A and B are shown apart, each in its own frame.
Chain A
Amino acid sequence: MLRTPGREDEEDVASGSRAAPRRAALLRHPRDAQHVARRRLRLRPPGASRAGARHVPTGFLAAITRGQQGHELTEMAELADAGAVGFTDDGLPVSWPGCSARRFSTAALQGVLALHEEDPSLSAGGVMHEGAVSALLGLAGIPSVSESTMIARDTALAGYEGGGSIQHLSARESVIAVEQARAAGVEVTAEGHSAPSALTDDAVRALDTGFKMNPPLRADDDRLALIDALRSGAIDCVATDRPALARGEGAAVRAGADGRHGPRDRLRRPPHRPRAARAPRARPAGRAHEARAPPSSASTHLRCKSGRPQTSAWPICSRSGMWARPATRVAPPTAASPAARSRGGSA
């Protein structure tokens, strides 16, 4: 997720796309949709012509609610006309159910809803996963249920009003909630969060704020559940969703900003693993999720190159609804070579 327009000091198109692997798509997140509407900005991808930017499909997500406050909807139709491929209040949940219901029906016409799932009344003040490590460190916890209860609510609304996409799953409970919704026939897509799929809250023990993130790194059974879900197709893609946040060093864990690691860090090939070692291997993930793609909507989705075996433990592209726009809006990824590995072969 890039930080433009507005916070290019943290991550811009050039730095983000240089870091992105093949088959990735980058989404740019205008923090202030009002700003965009007021100035009549065009939310068009800059394309490969921009100096320093490698060609990576790029699209804009606009905010769902004004000022991301979770109460009033933005002018979704205008924003879609301006080029937004979808909507998100990423970083904050849309906490008011009435607003949530309306945004589903509006967004069904305008684009895709990408939902940050967190019940703030359960996660308030939390800075890391609630579990043994938070008990040891005395840090306030973000329980897994703060995510899964919100997913249960939003998938129920999605079943009533129209589909959506669940952003950055981090917990086993969340995977179960998505699977249950799908089993009930709700058309939702879900993205796994790269960091909790590779690391656990054990990494926070060292109190490095680089491992502070929202959703947080969770326990090992959550990590394994995310990997299993990716294999089975319950999770459609992996998102890094880590803007490289600009906040100087010197922050203690409670005060430190979330993130700090952007696509630069998340998607980089581990240095100890030479390229030659990445022999193409067939993974069940690719076939499984190809088979699961709903035929009715498949044409509007960016897809992995059909029939191609997944060569990465972390397939970066998928049928995720996040990019579900007609191909004229976002160029499909030119998946000409095996997808780059994001994290090592820890999966």
Chain B
Amino acid sequence: MRGQLISIDDLTRGDIERILGRAESFAEVSGREIKKVPTLRGRTVINLFYEASTRTSSSFELAAKRLSADLLNVKAQGSAVDKGESLKDTVQTLSAYDPAAIVIRSPHVGAAQLVARWSAAAVINAGDGKREHPTQALLDLYTLRRRVGSLEGLKVWIVGDVLHSRVARSNILAFSRMGCEVTVCGPPTLIPREVETLGCQVRYSLEGMGEAHVVYALRMQLERMRGSFVPSLREYAARFQIDGRRLSPQQLLMHPGPVNRGVELAAEVIDSPQALIEQQVESGVVVRMAVLYELLAGGSPGDAARGVQPAEAATEPQPA
């Protein structure tokens, strides 16, 4: 069974529903004292990370371990990548271990696609440059759905540095696919031109944010900025920071983390009960378990739409 998760664009609404449903069933596993199922026993999952990551790499690691897969962590620092080995050579070397899945994060757009071309393993995009981060979008949908029930018709405002954000791109696609109305908001320098073609509205000020049911703040990606996109963080915070004054008590707040405290979010809203930030991190494990399961044991996410039956329906997670 070969599948891949490169972009949210490859998933139908049905695929997403199925992954979220699967994540629900794994949430029950995570509630147990022994949080492990034998589903992927004997399979190898490789975490190939060319960029710094805490949440994504650790939650993929936990997800693979809870499914009883053998896990190999390869980081660019300290590996042959440091010696100048190309992505292709690295992937071909690692493919010799016959992994069932390769989870790849890279600073380069399209890296996951290339890996999928070179390896027979299932490939999961854990962030490719500024393009997409599909598992983050899935876990955001999962978190929000657990909190509010149905996503249909929700108004979601994505606020901040959309230009440098792969999370924003995946989330615009994912939220609109699930029937939400998406608006992106930020200073014009941080909104890509023609972003509305992705299926969202564009605003350049927080005026009108009152209509939103959910405010999704993005991290200011200071490490990706070359040149002056904002004159100063102080001015950015004055105009676009989500604080207690701007966020009404009925609105929910999300953030992919890590938060720049005092820049995109004020301290009081981070710790408020409206914030789903901690739940998002928590959901990371079960959603990534669901993705691994769907790719390796179930049908691939794209298959539902094409009417392909899951190859190994017998390996359902066994509760109890």
Interface centre among B86, B194, B198 (most CB of A within 10 A): B194
Whether A250 touches B88, Cβ cut-off 8 Å, given contacts A138-B166, A141-B193, is yes
B194-224 to A contact mask, C-beta < 8 Å, 1/0: 1101100000000000000000000000000
Q: Is B181 in contact with chain A by the CB < 8 A criterion?
A: no
Asked whether B130 lies within 8 Å of A139 as measured between CB atoms, the reply is: yes
Q: Which residues of B contact A (CB under 8 A)?
A: 86-89, 106-111, 113-114, 128-132, 166, 169, 192-195, 197-198, 226-227
Asked whether A254 lies within 8 Å of B109 as measured between CB atoms, the reply is: yes
Asked whether A253 lies within 8 Å of B192 as measured between CB atoms, the reply is: no
Which 9 residue pairs are nearest across A and B when measured between Cβ atoms? A252-B108, A250-B88, A138-B130, A207-B110, A138-B131, A132-B197, A135-B192, A132-B194, A135-B195
Whether A138 touches B129, Cβ cut-off 8 Å, given contacts A131-B194, A250-B114, A252-B108, is yes
Q: Give the CA-CA distance A137 to B114 in the complex, in Å.
A: 15
Taking CB as reference atom, which chain A residue is nearest B91? A250
Q: Give the CA-CA distance A143 to B226 in the complex, in Å.
A: 17
| 6 chain-A/chain-B pairs, Cβ below 8 angstroms | A134-B193, A136-B169, A138-B130, A140-B130, A141-B192, A253-B110
**A245 CB to nearest B CB, Å:** 16
Q: Which residues of A contact B (CB under 8 A)?
A: 124-125, 130-132, 134-141, 143, 207, 248-250, 252-255
Asked whether A252 lies within 8 Å of B111 as measured between CB atoms, the reply is: yes
Taking CB as reference atom, which chain A residue is nearest B114? A252
Q: Give the CA-CA distance A52 to B129 in the complex, in Å.
A: 44
Q: Give the CA-CA distance A136 to B170 in the complex, in Å.
A: 9
Give how many A-B residue pairs fall within 8 Å (CB-CB).
67
**A341 CB to nearest B CB, Å:** 31
Q: Give the CA-CA distance A299 to B195 in the complex, in Å.
A: 51
In the complex, which of the residues B107, B109, B111 contacts A139, with contact meaning CB atoms closer than 8 Å?
B109
In the complex, which of the residues B109, B111, B193, B227 contacts A130, with contact meaning CB atoms closer than 8 Å?
B193
Asked whether A135 lies within 8 Å of B197 as measured between CB atoms, the reply is: yes
In the complex, which of the residues B88, B109, B195 contacts A253, with contact meaning CB atoms closer than 8 Å?
B109
Interface of A, helix, strand, loop or mixed by DSSP? loop
**A304 CB to nearest B CB, Å:** 39
Q: Give the CA-CA distance A140 to B129 in the complex, in Å.
A: 10
Asked whether B108 lies within 8 Å of A254 as measured between CB atoms, the reply is: yes
CB-CB < 8 A to B195: which residues of A?
Answer: 135
Taking CB as reference atom, which chain A residue is nearest B92? A250
Task: For the A-B complex with A137-B109, A250-B114 known, give 9 more contacts whose Cβ atoms are closer than 8 Å.
Answer: A134-B193, A136-B169, A136-B198, A137-B110, A138-B130, A207-B109, A250-B89, A252-B106, A252-B129
CB-CB < 8 A to B131: which residues of A?
Answer: 137-139
Q: Give the CA-CA distance A254 to B111 in the complex, in Å.
A: 10
Q: Give the CA-CA distance A329 to B88 in the complex, in Å.
A: 47
Asked whether A248 lies within 8 Å of B86 as measured between CB atoms, the reply is: yes
CB-CB < 8 A to A249: which residues of B?
Answer: 88
Interface centre among A143, A207, A252, A254 (most CB of B within 10 A): A252
Interface centre among A135, A138, A143, A248 (most CB of B within 10 A): A138
**B53 CB to nearest A CB, Å:** 17
Whether A139 touches B129, Cβ cut-off 8 Å, given contacts A131-B194, A132-B194, A207-B109, is yes
Asked whether B197 lies within 8 Å of A254 as measured between CB atoms, the reply is: no
Q: Give the CA-CA distance A254 to B109 in the complex, in Å.
A: 7
Q: Give the CA-CA distance A138 to B114 in the complex, in Å.
A: 17
CB-CB < 8 A to A137: which residues of B?
Answer: 109-110, 131
CB-CB < 8 A to B227: which residues of A?
Answer: 124
CB-CB < 8 A to A131: which residues of B?
Answer: 193-194
In the complex, which of the residues A125, A136, A207, A250 contacts B86, with contact meaning CB atoms closer than 8 Å?
A250
In the complex, which of the residues B87, B107, B114, B194 contacts A135, with contact meaning CB atoms closer than 8 Å?
B194
Q: Give the CA-CA distance A221 to B307 in the complex, in Å.
A: 39
Q: Give the CA-CA distance A8 to B134 in the complex, in Å.
A: 43
